[in-house]
Amino acid sequence: METATPPISEQQKQQYQEEGYFILEAAIPAEHLQILRAECQYFIDRKNAEMDQEGKEVLGITHRNSRYFISNRHQERPRMRAFIFSELTAAICRATLGPDAYLFWEQYVIKGAEIGLHFSWHQDSGYLGYDHRPYMSCWCALDDMSEENGTAYILPFSRAGTRERQEHTVDKTTNDKDDPGIPVLAPAGSIAVFSSLNFHRSGANTSDSMRRVYLAQYAAAPIANREGTGIQGFAEPFLKNGIRVD
């Protein structure tokens, strides 16, 4: 059974519209946080086993004990849906996207202790490489987040000087920003909610523990591919006219 959903204030809704983000502290119910952590460890163990089998330390962009990117696994691990399609995420979608919402993407992003790498400034929309309706990210802290363990930093629209999609180029739009951004300094179970047009980055993990994040992303409508012949990511219905779709 779901616990009561933390209220999303009118101030937070306005901040999302004006600056592209807000933060909900300690918002994820304990049972959902436990599920997300358990599934995170399951996928880390499985990824390590794959590397053992292939005799490698690197698979794609995953580096053993340094960083793990594990994307779009909720269909094979159904209990993750309890959080992805919860009343909490529904409330966030209503406050940011409106009455209709679709799951677009989901993934774990894990930084290993003492060697977890940093990520430069980027927009999530920049990865698509073409103009589209912005989507929304729920950046879910599975651990207490600090500057030491490589938390995220978000650049508000007013400080970025743009709310448009920028082309991703190495060491230009991603790195040449003097503004350090707003650090997400929050306890485990917190959610940083931000637009796919917000620039954000993260530091290196210099702590002695893993830094685990679960990222669930939602769109107000299915996102077509560049050619318009199909869709990007998922287009799994979540809300219709504000009501959760079964």
C-alpha dihedral sign at 91, 7, 135, 149: negative
Percent of the chain whose predicted confidence (pLDDT) is above 70: 88
pLDDT for res 152 = 93
Percent of the chain whose predicted confidence (pLDDT) is above 90: 67
pLDDT tens profile 50-66: 999 999 999 988 988 88
pLDDT for res 65 = 87
More confident residue, 21 or 165: 21
Domain 10-244 is in which class?
mainly beta
More confident residue, 63 or 242: 242
Give the residue carrying structure tokens 């992003």. Answer: 109
pLDDT bracket for residue 159 (50, 70, 90):
confident
Task: Please check the confidence at residue 174 and state whether its pLDDT lies above 90.
Answer: no
Taking CA atoms, 245 is separated from 91, 103, 154, 180, in Å, by 13, 11, 31, 39
pLDDT bracket for residue 171 (50, 70, 90):
very low
d(C-alpha 27, C-alpha 33), whole Å: 10
pLDDT bracket for residue 179 (50, 70, 90):
confident
pLDDT bracket for residue 132 (50, 70, 90):
confident
Task: Please check the confidence at residue 168 and state whether its pLDDT lies above 50.
Answer: no
Q: Where are the domains of the chain?
A: 10-244
DSSP string for the chain: -PPPPPPPPHHHHHHHHHHSEEEETT-S-HHHHHHHHHHHHHHHHHHHHHHHHHT-SEETTEETTTEEEEES-TTTSGGGHHHHTSHHHHHHHHHHT-S-EEEEEEEEEEE-TTTBPPEEEE-GGGGT-S-----EEEEEESS---TTTT-EEEE-HHHHT--S-----TTTTTT------EE----TT-EEEEETTSEEEE--B-SSS-EEEEEEEEESSPPB-TTSSSBSS--EEEEETTEEP-
* Choice among 14-18, 102-106, 163-167 with the minimum mean pLDDT: 163-167
CA angle at 75 for the pair 69 and 79, rounded to the nearest 5°: 95
Please give the mean pLDDT across all residues of the chain. 88
| Contact between 100 and 236 (Cβ < 8 Å) | no
pLDDT tens profile 199-227: 889 988 999 999 999 999 999 999 988 88
pLDDT for res 3 = 59
**pTM for the full model?**
0.89
pLDDT bracket for residue 173 (50, 70, 90):
very low
